[in-house]
Structure 1
Amino acid sequence: MLALLGFGIIAVFLYTTMTKRLSIPVALIIIPVVFGLIGGFGTEIGKMMISGIVKVTPSAMIPIFAVIYFGLMIDAGMFDPMVNKILKLVKGDPVKITIGAAVLAMLVSLDGDGTTTFIISVTAMYPITRKINMNPLILPFAVGMAAGVMNPLPWSGPTTRVMATLQSDASIVFNPIIPAMIAGIAWVLFACYYVGKKERSRLGVADFGGNILAEPEFDGGGQNPSIKRPHLFWFNVIMTVLIIAGLLAEIMPMATLFVIGFAIVITVNYPNLKDQQERMKNYSTEVVTIVTLIFSAGCFTGILSGTKMVTEMARALVSLIPQGMGSLLPLVVAITSMPLSLVFPTDAYYFGVLPVIYEMAASIGIEPVQIGRAAILGQMTVGFPLSPLAAATLVLISVAKVNLVEHQKFMFLWAFGTTIVMTMVAYLTGALSF
């Protein structure tokens, strides 16, 4: 009975969210509550929801303060010299332009927001690609590949969701896949070199005969110059490097690193209280969205766990696995993760599908965290710049002025290759195992 109720929750959740009949937060709360009442849990549901919220609260701090921190760095202009340097270096060479667009996107992707990455990166590089008549699909390809391979970062959406549902932290979920992510970055740069070289064979190398940055079409993305802090560039760079180094060295929880970093950089860059309030107001919508989503997910997982529905669902599914095939579960999740970005929205996959697979894995002796790591090698990470279910993808094709289907055809196999490379390295380094 509990397994049937659990599958009912998943089915209704997927249906109502994918058909947009309910918003994600509402579905995460209402659906398990209704099924919990049907299951006779009554007044226990409230305690289960609070328990789930308490468990995800530390995970909620990471994306909130990371988003604000990197938003401040973008506003202050920390990335501006890097953008200008890349523009100067690429000149009129399609190979350099393609690789430069990818490198720029990787840098901007540190803020964990795909929409911001696409707007800044495409806006910066689009005039050059247009000026030398490059294939318009190459720019969104390079930017999308780069943003995708950076999206497993622990403050990005997919990894945050894995940490929330597993009640784990970045040192366990993310750090073991760092070698795989580095291999993925190398693959992306190779893909950009290969595609750029083919385009260079078609077009040659253009000579602008002057400084292209001085031309009117290069307007710096239309950002407000009054919030820039060029005199604090090195301070901001050093702070960012220290935070990332502290994250990798695990000197303290990631959430506290970003909390402390946020407090320091907003005080130094915007000492005026009114300016601080203006910057915070600028990020308020995104922060409220993150908090609502994560706490709603806490309610969802709290009810599924508290009622033991997820355990019974896993037992039912395990009985269907052929003997001797259970050890391949992480591999199956990893290989299918990127293509499933075209089918499942982020929340439907990470909150609806993965919790069941976690329990399946645990019941056959596989660490659930391996499933989480396998998922972030592709599902709405590498795959999100291709997915029509991701709003950022629609922004990408809009600012790049390309057709979604043509973009998907151009990029799909290369993006799938990123997941394959990352999966192989994850197995070689022990992040995943048979």
Structure 2
Amino acid sequence: MISFIKQPNKYTPVNNPVIFQIQSDNPLIQFFKVTITDNLGNIIGSLRLFTTPDYLTGSFTDLSTILSNTVNYQLLPSANLVDYTPNILQAYQLTVTEKIYSNGIIVDGTTSTTGLFYVWNGLVDKVSFSSFDYHNYVLTTGNTANFLTNKPPISTMYLTSSEYLYFLNDGRSGNVNLNFYGAGNTLVGSHQLAISGSTSGATRIDISPAAITNTFGSSFANSIGREFGSMFTSPFGTNYSLSSANYFTVNLTDVSGNSKSVVRTYVLKNTSCKNTPVQIVFGNQLGGYDSFMFFNPRETLDVVKTSITDNPFSINIGGIYTDNNNSVFNEENTTINVNATSTYKVITDALRDEEVRFLKELVKSQKVYIRLLNGMFYPVTVTNLNFPVQQKKYTTSLLRLELVFTMRDTGINMNY
């Protein structure tokens, strides 16, 4: 008989340990044959888990390396405000067979199959993972879940921003709730977007101002243009007092209207006409995509040319051996290849302490894009290798991040 001594949570971030510990009650056990399949029966991987001198009846494994190949980030710009992102999440189960030594040969013993487990493309810090509870990250019955972001729960959002929220759903139906507030915190509009509970999965919500305006029209447009003054003061955008705040909130509820997620607040802000905004969208630590607005790109062009040396003398069109032809001197060096890279420096608006800590994820992110004028997203490489995590108590200056990134295409217009 096979016993599962240790199993991961039903949902586990794949970049954390995904540990199974298996034990047999047969003293002749030699090893376990393990087959990993998805929810449709497709084989993800297989392995043998051998017993060891200090664990003669059992074995253990960390499946994070195998399962990490089955999930990825999924940036999904689309016309839908709510869309599924299946690349983020993978269902799997284990079929385990005992391999027993009997009469000089290895024979099959009992076989046991687990229920379904899930991994998603995320990472939880080591301290938090020591007491990990997937209910904090997955929409289930009786819990309040987080979206897949570590962005501060109250954030600015520029009117030209592309902004997304991702969440995991364990088969629960409900709604995405958008509430819009105008001057004096007056509710000026509410909208709901249905979420399906037919399957477990990962979902992306597009909460970009342009996308919401296109869907809901004037109810959203009436609440544009103001923000919390003291919390978001900066020279790059407009500043208003709290009494005239304009913002909106996002949260998830079940079909009965009960809140099932944290409430996120986005304070709307206009960019100054004197500054050039650059939208950065990046894969975050929890598997979703976050965005942040930077300003005033400064370009440095780096060029590497490959050339060969030529003989400048040749026979010209008149049959004369000379170093020029028809009043044009022949080349002494011919360029055969040009590699050019543009390096840009951009800077943030003034930051709060929470935003500085959050932007560590951008500096170390493996997936970073800029949003182009035509709405497409272009991959870039962030070259910041050092990021002093400043806090207001350490300095009298405004907190900012100067981000440096490179692009191989040097012809893209960065002037929004």
Query: Would you call these one fold, judging by a TM-score over 0.5?
Result: no
The structure with more radius of gyration: 2
TM-score by length of 2: 0.23
Structure (1 or 2) with the greater helix fraction: 1
Bigger relative CO (Cα 8 Å, ≥ 6 apart):
1
